[in-house]
């Protein structure tokens, strides 16, 4: 495990070095492809601005993720208790999923005054569906033998939900959360691109547009790096949560001697 | 010679003589699943007497498990009835703990440790306001799981998991234990040890056991009565009774054991030929 991390870190360092060296050797134009050192300097120069934008984007992604967790879990539980509601609502969730967010974003920005909330809605719409689909799949994968066991002891539907259905769905839910954590960030960026700068302090997407206007390519790269970085952070956060919840019993965390 | 095949007449006489001991009686029970064309079980007549160790012996797929599941209400029969002469042995909402079931595989919940798995039935009872004694540690001791309370199912061997499963079935202090080929996945030594322990526990707790198996040795070793089944559709083929026979300590290695094994084995062969 530790070895693997060192390996991938080495690969990244070598890539950046190769980039830096080839920039100088091949005499590349800095305004087309700036070298990593220049990007780093630009990030440091614009640290305050970029950091606040990072916070704005991260806040939207995280709030969207939390909303998706709440909504998809409640939907799954409602669907568990009522097949009728499930049958009626499933098509709507699918329609929302297959419609590209870029297509609805302008509408949302017309309906909602605050650009922050409009972007949040975009991020939520993108992040919500994979989580819902995974959680529902988890609910449905409850093993028959476990249900029989609970019924044998006279458990009611609510007890079956608590003792068997929810714990059984957790691994599915958490792998959905991994997908959604990336998508929430994408939604937050795409939303801001289409809707425009977020009121208060604009997010990283607007920093990219702004750098384009100013032809400040190093800053643009800086913003892109920060987006990737926050994506990695979000993903690892979910992975940590997943590890803490599942490590004791789930086979994906089997200790190897 | 203790082992006898019962004729219909003898069976009826047995029922009349032991009426006060009769705790469950299946009368003409049949079962047809929606997904299959033919009946899986046809006209099953079967009696369970108090403190019986009753084996239902048959080849795979003859419907043995279905009989057990119908007895504890997990499956409904399509015809016939299951009588419980007194309510003292049947599971009901007032008294859900009379019957317990040991599944073919341990069927533990992987997200709960050993202690919580064993406690689960009590937890459910309590929430449904049925009184249940907390005797978890006694049971853990009884099945030899001390020190394993914090383990999760994936850390346990097959034999250990089965012990947890048995402990979970015993924790509700049932009067009747239904066991569905509980040891079929274990190696021979483990199976020997566990069946020995089951006999001990049965004696200690005065349990009635209904035991489904495809092992002739196991059924002869453990039980005082055996129903041999044939399949397609599942039917009772012959019934053996050796209640009036004392089993010596080393019964498994006596000529008597081998003789009786042969008799039951012949019966099972005839049952298969009769299909």
Instruction: List, for residues B46-81, the tens digit of each pLDDT value.
Output: 999 999 999 999 988 888 999 999 998 888 899 988
Q: Give the separation between CA A59 and CA B102, rounded to whole angstroms.
A: 51
* Partners of residue A164 in chain B, C-beta under 8 Å: 109
Scan residues 52-111 of B and list those with Cβ closer than 8 Å to A.
69, 72, 74, 91, 93, 96, 100-101, 103, 105, 107, 109-111
Residue of chain B whose Cα is closest to the Cα of A171? B111
* Partners of residue B93 in chain A, C-beta under 8 Å: 154
| Structure confidence at residue A204 as a pLDDT band (50, 70, 90) | very high
pLDDT value for A112: 92
Mean pLDDT of A220-242: 93
pLDDT value for B3: 67
CB spacing of B110 vs A163 below 8 angstroms: no
CB spacing of B72 vs A149 below 8 angstroms: no
Q: Which fold has domain A38-253?
A: MetI-like fold (1.10.3720)
Candidates B74, B152, B172; nearest CB to A148: B74
Mean pLDDT of B221-244: 88
Q: What percent of chain B stands above pLDDT 90?
A: 36
**Beta partners for B26?**
B46, B82
Candidates B69, B91, B109; nearest CB to A164: B109
Q: What percent of chain A stands above pLDDT 70?
A: 98
CB spacing of A249 vs B128 below 8 angstroms: no
Cβ atoms A173, A135 nearer than 8 A: yes
Candidates B74, B109, B113; nearest CB to A146: B109
Chain A nearest C-alpha distance from B67 (Å)? 15
| Nearest to A237, CA basis, from A172, A182, A190, A173 | A182
Give B20-70 as a DSSP string.
GGEEEEEEEEEE--TT-SS-SEEEEEEEEETT-EEEEE--TTSSHHHHHHH
Give residue limits of the domains in chain A.
1-33, 38-253
Q: Is the pLDDT of residue A255 over 70?
A: no
CATH of B1-86+224-275, picked from 1.10.3470, 3.20.20, 1.10.357, 3.40.50, is: 3.40.50
Cβ contacts from A onto B, under 8 A: 56
CB spacing of A168 vs B107 below 8 angstroms: no
pLDDT value for B21: 85
Mean residue pLDDT across chain B: 87
Residue B33 burial class via C-beta count within 10 angstroms: exposed 0-12, middle 13-18, buried 19 and up: middle
Q: Is the pLDDT of residue A257 over 50?
A: no
Measured from the Cβ of residue A21, the count of other Cβ atoms closer than 10 Å reads 11
Candidates B107, B112, B124; nearest CB to A154: B124
For residue B233, say if its preceding peptide bond is cis, omega within 30 degrees of 0. yes
Q: Give the separation between CA B179 and CA B69, rounded to whole angstroms.
A: 10
Enumerate residues 6+ apart whose C-beta is below 8 A from A3. Answer: none
Pairing of strands B4-5, B41-49: unpaired
Q: Is the pLDDT of residue A256 over 70?
A: no
| Nearest to B228, CA basis, from B260, B202, B195, B266 | B266
pLDDT value for B1: 42
pLDDT value for B2: 56
| Nearest to A49, CA basis, from A213, A230, A224, A223 | A223
Q: pLDDT digit string (tens) for A111-143?
A: 998 999 999 999 999 999 999 999 999 999 999
* Partners of residue B115 in chain A, C-beta under 8 Å: none
Q: pLDDT digit string (tens) for B134-193?
A: 789 989 998 889 999 999 999 999 889 999 999 999 998 899 999 999 888 888 888 888
Chain A nearest C-alpha distance from B250 (Å)? 36
Cβ atoms B101, B147 nearer than 8 A: no
CB spacing of B172 vs A153 below 8 angstroms: yes
Candidates B69, B72, B120; nearest CB to A163: B120
Residue A250, token pair as written in the block: 């789930």
Mean pLDDT of A181-190: 94
CB spacing of B111 vs A155 below 8 angstroms: no
Q: Is the pLDDT of residue A2 over 60?
A: yes
pLDDT value for A56: 94
CB spacing of A153 vs B120 below 8 angstroms: yes
**What dihedral angle (degrees, nearest 10) is formed by the CA atoms of A210, A212, A213, A217?**
100
b/e B240-262 (16+ beta carbons within 10 angstroms → b): bbbbeeebeeeebeeebbeebbe
| Structure confidence at residue B34 as a pLDDT band (50, 70, 90) | confident
Q: Give the separation between CA A34 and CA A16, rounded to whole angstroms.
A: 12
Greater pLDDT, A34 or B233? A34
CB spacing of A152 vs B72 below 8 angstroms: yes
| Structure confidence at residue A1 as a pLDDT band (50, 70, 90) | low
Residue with tokens 């960026």: A189
CB spacing of B103 vs A155 below 8 angstroms: no
Choose the weakest-confidence range: A27-36, A227-236, B16-25: B16-25
CB spacing of A150 vs B103 below 8 angstroms: no
Give residue limits of the domains in chain B.
1-86+224-275
């Amino acid at each position: 495990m530790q070895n693997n991390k060192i390996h991938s870190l080495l690969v990244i360092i070598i890539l950046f070095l190769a980039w830096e060296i080839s920039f100088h050797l091949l005499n590349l134009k800095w305004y087309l492809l700036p070298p990593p050192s220049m990007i780093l300097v630009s990030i440091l120069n614009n640290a305050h601005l970029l950091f606040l934008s990072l916070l704005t984007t991260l806040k939207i992604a995280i709030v969207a993720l939390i909303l998706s967790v709440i909504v998809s879990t409640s939907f799954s539980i409602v669907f568990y208790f009522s097949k009728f509601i499930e049958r009626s609502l499933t098509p709507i969730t699918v329609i929302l999923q297959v419609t590209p967010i870029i297509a609805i974003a302008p509408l949302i920005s017309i309906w909602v005054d605050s650009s922050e909330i409009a972007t949040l809605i975009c991020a939520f719409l993108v992040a919500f569906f994979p989580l819902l689909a995974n959680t529902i799949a988890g609910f449905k994968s409850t093993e028959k033998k476990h249900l029989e066991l609970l019924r044998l002891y006279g458990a009611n539907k609510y007890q079956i939900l608590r003792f068997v259905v929810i714990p059984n769905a957790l691994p599915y839910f958490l792998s959905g959360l991994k997908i959604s954590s990336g998508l929430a960030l994408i939604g937050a960026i795409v939303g801001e691109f289409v809707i425009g700068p977020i009121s208060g302090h604009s997010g990283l997407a607007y920093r990219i547009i702004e750098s384009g206007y100013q032809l400040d390519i190093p800053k643009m790269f800086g913003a892109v790096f920060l987006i990737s970085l926050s994506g990695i952070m979000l993903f690892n956060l979910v992975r940590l949560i997943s590890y803490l919840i599942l490590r004791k019993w789930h086979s994906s965390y089997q200790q190897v001697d | 010679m203790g082992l006898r095949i019962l004729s219909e007449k003898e069976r009826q006489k047995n029922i009349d003589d032991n009426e006060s001991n009769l705790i469950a009686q299946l009368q003409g029970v049949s079962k047809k699943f929606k997904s299959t064309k033919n009946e899986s079980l046809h006209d099953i007549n079967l009696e369970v007497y108090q403190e019986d160790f009753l084996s239902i012996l048959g080849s795979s797929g003859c419907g043995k498990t279905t009989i057990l599941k119908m007895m504890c209400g997990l499956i409904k029969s399509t015809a016939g009835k299951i009588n419980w002469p007194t309510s003292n042995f049947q599971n009901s909402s007032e008294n859900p703990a009379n019957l317990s079931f040991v599944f073919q595989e341990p069927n533990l919940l992987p997200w709960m440790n050993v202690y919580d798995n064993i406690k689960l039935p009590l937890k459910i009872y309590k929430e449904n306001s049925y009184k249940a004694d907390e005797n978890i540690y006694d049971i853990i001791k009884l099945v030899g799981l001390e020190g394993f309370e914090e383990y999760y199912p994936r850390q346990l061997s097959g034999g250990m998991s089965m012990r947890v499963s048995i402990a979970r079935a015993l924790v509700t202090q049932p009067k009747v234990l239904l066991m569905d080929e509980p040891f079929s996945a274990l190696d021979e030594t483990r199976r020997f040890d566990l069946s020995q322990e089951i006999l001990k526990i049965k004696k200690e707790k005065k349990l009635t056991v209904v035991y489904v198996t495809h092992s002739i040795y196991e059924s002869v070793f453990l039980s005082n009565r055996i129903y041999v089944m044939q399949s397609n559709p599942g039917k009772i083929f012959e019934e053996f009774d050796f209640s009036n026979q004392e089993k010596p300590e080393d019964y498994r290695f006596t000529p008597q054991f081998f003789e009786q094994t042969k008799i039951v084995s012949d019966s099972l062969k005839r049952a298969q030929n009769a299909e």
